[in-house]
Every structure is written in structure tokens, then in C-alpha cells.
Amino acid sequence: AQTVTQSQPEMSVQEAETVTLSCTYDTSENNYYLFWYKQPPSRQMILVIRQEAYKQQNATENRFSVNFQKAAKSFSLKISDSQLGDTAMYFCAFTTRNNAGNMLTFGGGTRLMVKP
């Protein structure tokens, strides 16, 4: 069974600073995708960034980037120049073709507070 672990239940960062959220996963599959989803207080789930396991280059989306360490099964999210609007729950998630209907396995989440 695949598992996803987020070891930081809560984090805080000052506005404009950089913060890194950790995620580890466990799988025996070689072909899979990893995601970070953001859930602001509105409760809407928003895709932040995704990474294909076969790609060695780390994915980036504007201020968001990942550090994908396949051998270590680690997938951390770095948020640069943090903004107040980044305050949210962040979920790391994983999927592989052998998952039920391409469904997602989620970590427990990290609550991020950006302080002014």
C-alpha cells in the first residue's frame, strides 16, 4: 500500500520569507506522480504543483518549487517570497496507475500561517 507522510502539522513564516514543507511517501511503483494541493480557508482544493517521477528536473510554478528526491522518496515544497494569501492547509498527494482509478493518496496536511 502507498502512504504519504507530512511530518509538520503546523508551520509559520514571515511575509516575504521562504518556507519549506516536507513530504515523504512510500511506494514500490516506478511510474507515479506527486502533487501539492492548497486548501485556503474557503475549503477549495487547488493544485499548486505536480511532479512526474520519471522527470529528474524539479517542477517550478512561479514562487512554488519542489525538491524531488526519488531515492529518498521525498517531495518537499518550497514557497519563496511568502504572501498572506499563501496561508492555507497544504496537502501532499500521490498517484500511480495501480491506484484505484488513478485516485489520490493524501498526506495528513500541513497548516501554514503567513504572518505580516
Partner 1 sequence: NAGVTQTPKFQVLKTGQSMTLQCAQDMNHEYMSWYRQDPGMGLRLIHYSVGAGITDQGEVPNGYNVSRSTTEDFPLRLLSAAPSQTSVYFCASSYSYLGTEAFFGQGTRLTVV
Site residues (vs partner 1, CB under 8 A) = 4, 6, 9, 31-33, 42-45, 47, 50, 52, 91, 93, 95-97, 100-109
| Nearer Cβ to partner 1 (6/82) | 6
The three-state DSSP-derived secondary structure of 28-80 is CCCCEEEEEEEECCCCCCEEEEEEECCCCCCCEECCEEEEEECCCCEEEEEEC
Minimal distance, residue 102 CB to partner 1, in Å: 6
Minimal distance, residue 85 CB to partner 1, in Å: 18
Q: Are strands 10-14 and 110-115 parallel, antiparallel or unpaired?
A: parallel
Residue 68 contacts residue 59 (beta carbons within 8 Å): yes
| Nearer Cβ to partner 1 (72/100) | 100
Residue 108 contacts residue 9 (beta carbons within 8 Å): yes
| Nearer Cβ to partner 1 (85/101) | 101
| Nearer Cβ to partner 1 (41/116) | 41
Minimal distance, residue 16 CB to partner 1, in Å: 29
Q: Are strands 105-106 and 88-96 parallel, antiparallel or unpaired?
A: antiparallel
